[in-house]
Structure 1
Amino acid sequence: MGLLPIKKVYGYITRIRKGKVEILVFRHSNPKAGIQIPKGTVESKESTYHAVIREVKEETGLKDFKVNNLIAEDYWRNDDHVIHHRYFYQINISNAPDRWDYEPTGGGNEEGLTFHYFWISSKDEVELVRGHGDYLNVIFG
């Protein structure tokens, strides 16, 4: 019997800057981890909506944002062959720095890491890791 898929939430945090949509991404302090968007695992008995709010706060330090909507949901096979049930949310923010560093507060394997945040304004600007960019076209059109 197979394992149940692991529920994962992904946050496309967006802002409008000089008339263009931008998405928040980060570079890990471990260069092998690549460029990512905030994401994490849904805890037991937690809704995906509440999970994405918690993950964004833990990974970015941002507090003043609004979850706009669920833009995509799919199933994806991870490098370790575990199936992830992925939920991608668009999150709007109006007041955030252009760049900042943050040490995530979620603990676990993120303990002691620093995430280097910056904004992108097209889906081709950077290459996101392992499926993080699968729905950028929904945001950037």
Structure 2
Amino acid sequence: MTDATYVQKACAYITRRPGELLVFEGPGHDGLQIPKGTLEPGESPREALFREVREESGLGTLSDTRHLTTDVWTRRAGRRYVRHFFHATVYEPRDRWTHTVSDGGAEHGAMFSFRWVRPTTAQPFALELDAYVDLLPTVSRTDEVSSASD
């Protein structure tokens, strides 16, 4: 049996109003995603959170940022992800926007189309990223999808 590789990830549940969660549909995965990414050497999960949100969405200011939970998620045998989930709020008047990653890293040039949804949407999230939406304030699994965010 081989030793597993553990990859540290920071994952961001960003809300702008109670019940509105920032998501995107990006390349490489089916389903909704949230801003997330791998920690760089020497970087804390909180530092990675702010960096990844800025790189993937263009958002630079987050408020009320707090750690929700950490789990270990296995996507394939021998590779485990230590996922640090955070919740933050943001003031963002745009309902939808596209951001092109320009950090020079592996996702350089990738375009992400962002929008706000109710986290209880029937559409599944990629990579089980919706596992902890119940920990967000004012979220109930019985909420309906907001027609304004479709």
Residue from 23, 26, 37 that aligns with 2:24: 26
* Distance in 1, Cα, partners of 2:84 & 2:69: 6
CA contact (8 A) 2:54 2:60 kept: yes
Point out the more displaced range, 68-77 or 104-113.
104-113
2:9 matches 1:12: no
Unaligned 5+ segments in structure 1 are: none
> What is the TM-score of this pair, normalised by structure 2?
0.82
* Distance in 2, Cα, partners of 1:4 & 1:96: 40
How far 1:80 sits from its partner (Å)? 5.8
CA contact (8 A) 2:119 2:130 kept: no
> What is the TM-score of this pair, normalised by structure 1?
0.86
CA contact (8 A) 1:59 1:106 kept: no
* Distance in 1, Cα, partners of 2:65 & 2:113: 24
SS in 2 for 1:110: coil
Point out the more displaced range, 1-10 or 89-98.
1-10
* Distance in 1, Cα, partners of 2:99 & 2:111: 5
How far 1:127 sits from its partner (Å)? 1.4
Which structure 2 residues correspond to residues 32-51 of structure 1 after superposition, within 5 A? Answer: 32-51=29-48
* Distance in 2, Cα, partners of 1:129 & 1:112: 21
- Which residue is equivalent to 2:124? 127
2:65 matches 1:68: yes
CA contact (8 A) 1:64 1:95 kept: no
C-alpha deviations, 1:11-42, integer Å up to 9, x for none?
001111xxx421000012x3754321000001
- Do the aligned partners of residues 54 and 31 (structure 1) sit closer, same or farther apart at CA in structure 2, a change above 3 Å counting? closer
Task: Quote the RMSD (CA, aligned, Å).
Answer: 1.9
C-alpha deviations, 1:74-102, integer Å up to 9, x for none?
10002364101110000110234110001
- How many aligned residue pairs are there? 137
C-alpha deviations, 1:93-128, integer Å up to 9, x for none?
023411000112344442322111000124134311
